């Protein structure tokens, strides 16, 4: 019996691989039964499906010391942007789905998120801390245009004067400028746009359904013009692939009006390391070995380093060079001059049915 692994790129998708989730008790493989694997045209037609998920709670709590937020909301599970490097891909294994192609085609939406949020914000003893959107999967991925779950979450937060931060790769955040601008006037909102590269051809392969790089710069400018504090995330830094673009990305983002910037080194947890290796062999085969050698150099000789102190920045000579370059360009551009602290004192719990309205 012959076996064949699906590796041909699929237009508009980050990976064609249906890698098995790590919790399955069995493995799957493609076999040649003599009738052929199927034509290329059929491979191109992997539709995006959305399943309704009904969680009992919506706020996730974070205790990681290297992440700058305590509370977050993920309106969706899975992400149609299809970024091959996405550290969230392994979470699809919890659903017995592939962190490969399933992660970007079999999505889950939480339409009751705003209602759950209203309940949780109204609980006695709730402690207000800035709510982070976009921590696991993008809150403005393409399906948000129809589902509008992120929009409704922001409406609840705005009603309660609850601060929030957003990280996205999508221009769609501009749709909610009306809400975000009002919140920004009260020091309740900050938006980061993630830009991995300004090379359109590379971006199309790395993050096939995310907004084009030049359009993200326009989004930063539009947010800034609306009075919304903005920042740029140069993430992830991929050795020997996009690292030379750091100064250019930060410079053009500063021209668009950002006042904050950050970066994260490439992370390859669980199945992502396999998917990323395959991507390298497909799209940059002559660089593949060199890139992975450099990744291991910043990860203590391994493909991934999960430790809190080093997972975001890496370690070693190369990681230190990136750190110093980042600090120097930020100093030159006037970025990160002061820490931006959102106001949590204005928070008021949502009004429940039957509650007496305030006189003022």
- Return the axis-axis angle of helices 177-185 and 149-159, rounded to nearest 10°: 20
Give the C-alpha separation, 188 to 264, whole Å.
25
Residue of 223, 282, 283 whose CA lies nearest to 257: 223
Task: Supply the pLDDT for residue 35.
Answer: 47
Nearest alpha carbon to residue 219 among 265, 187, 257, 163: 257
> Does residue 91 lie within any of the structural domains?
yes
Whether residue 350 is contained in a domain is answered as no
Residue 325, C-beta contacts closer than 8 angstroms, at least 6 positions apart: 246, 247
Residues in the chain: 360
**Domain-located, residue 349:** no
C-alpha to C-alpha distances, 244 to 250, 351, 356, nearest whole angstrom = 12, 51, 59
Q: How many C-beta atoms surround the C-beta of residue 298 within 10 A?
A: 22
In a domain, 341, yes or no: no
Q: Which 3 state secondary structure label does DSSP give 240?
A: coil
Do the domain assignments include residue 26? yes
Q: CA-CA distance, 55 to 354, in Å (whole number)?
A: 26
Domain count, the chain: 1
* Residue 346 belongs to some domain of the structure: no
Residue 41: the pLDDT is 47
Tell me: the pLDDT tens digits for 127-164?
999 999 988 899 999 999 999 999 999 999 999 999 99
| CA separation for the pair 12, 8 (Å, rounded) | 12
DSSP result, 16-30: ---PPPTT-SS---E
Confidence at residue 360, expressed as pLDDT on a 0 to 100 scale: 53
pLDDT of residue 3: 32
Q: Is residue 138 part of a domain?
A: yes
Looking at the chain, the number of H-run helices and the number of E-run strands are 12, 12
3-class DSSP state for residue 193? strand
pLDDT at 350: 93
Q: Please report, for the domain that includes residue 47, its CATH number.
A: 3.20.20.70
- Per-residue pLDDT tens over the stretch 86-134: 999 999 998 999 999 999 999 999 999 999 999 999 999 999 999 999 8
Contact by Cβ (8 Å): 232, 195: yes
Domain-located, residue 64:
yes
- Is 56 exposed, middle or buried, given 0-12, 13-18 or 19+ CB atoms closer than 10 A? exposed
Q: What whole-number percentage of the chain has pLDDT above 90?
A: 78
Map tokens 């800035």 to a residue.
130
User: What's residue 4's pLDDT?
Assistant: 36
Its domain, for residue 235, covers 2-333
pLDDT for 298 equals 95
What is the model's pLDDT at position 36?
52
Residues in the chain with pLDDT values less than 50? 1-6, 31, 33-35, 37, 39, 41-42
What's this model's pTM, rounded to 2 decimal places? 0.89
């Amino acid at each position: 019996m012959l076996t064949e692994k699906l590796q041909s790129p699929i237009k508009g998708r980050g990976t064609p691989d249906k890698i098995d989730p790590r919790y399955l008790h069995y493995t799957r493989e493609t076999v040649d039964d003599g009738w052929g694997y199927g034509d290329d045209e059929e491979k191109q037609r992997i539709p995006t499906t959305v399943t309704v998920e009904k969680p009992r709670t919506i706020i996730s709590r974070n205790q990681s010391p290297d992440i700058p937020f305590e509370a977050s909301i993920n309106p969706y599970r899975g992400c149609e942007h299809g970024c091959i490097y996405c550290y969230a891909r392994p979470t699809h294994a919890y659903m017995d789905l592939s962190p490969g192609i399933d992660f970007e085609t079999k999505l889950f939406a939480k339409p009751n998120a705003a209602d759950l949020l209203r309940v949780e914000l109204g609980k006695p003893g709730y402690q207000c801390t800035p709510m982070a959107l976009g921590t696991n999967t993008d809150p403005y991925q393409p399906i948000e245009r129809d589902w509008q779950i992120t929009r409704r979450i922001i409406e609840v937060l705005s009603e309660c004067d609850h601060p929030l931060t957003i990280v996205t790769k999508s221009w769609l955040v501009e749709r909610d400028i009306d809400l975000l601008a009002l919140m920004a006037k009260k020091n309740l909102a900050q938006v980061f746009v993630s830009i991995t590269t300004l090379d359109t051809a590379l971006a199309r392969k790395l993050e096939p359904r995310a907004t084009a790089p030049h359009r993200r710069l326009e989004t930063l400018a539009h947010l800034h013009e609306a009075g919304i504090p903005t920042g740029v995330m140069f993430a992830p830094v991929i050795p020997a692939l996009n690292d030379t673009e750091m100064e250019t990305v930060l410079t053009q983002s500063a021209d668009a009006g950002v006042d904050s910037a950050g970066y994260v080194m490439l992370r390859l947890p669980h199945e992502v390391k396999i998917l990323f290796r395959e991507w390298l062999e497909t799209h940059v085969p002559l660089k593949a070995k060199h890139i992975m050698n450099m990744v291991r150099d910043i990860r203590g000789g391994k493909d991934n380093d999960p430790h809190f102190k080093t997972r975001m920045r890496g370690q070693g000579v190369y990681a230190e060079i990136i750190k110093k370059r980042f600090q120097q360009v930020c100093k030159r551009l006037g970025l990160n001059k002061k820490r931006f602290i959102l106001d949590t004192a204005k928070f008021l719990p949502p009004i429940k049915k039957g509650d007496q309205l305030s006189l003022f």
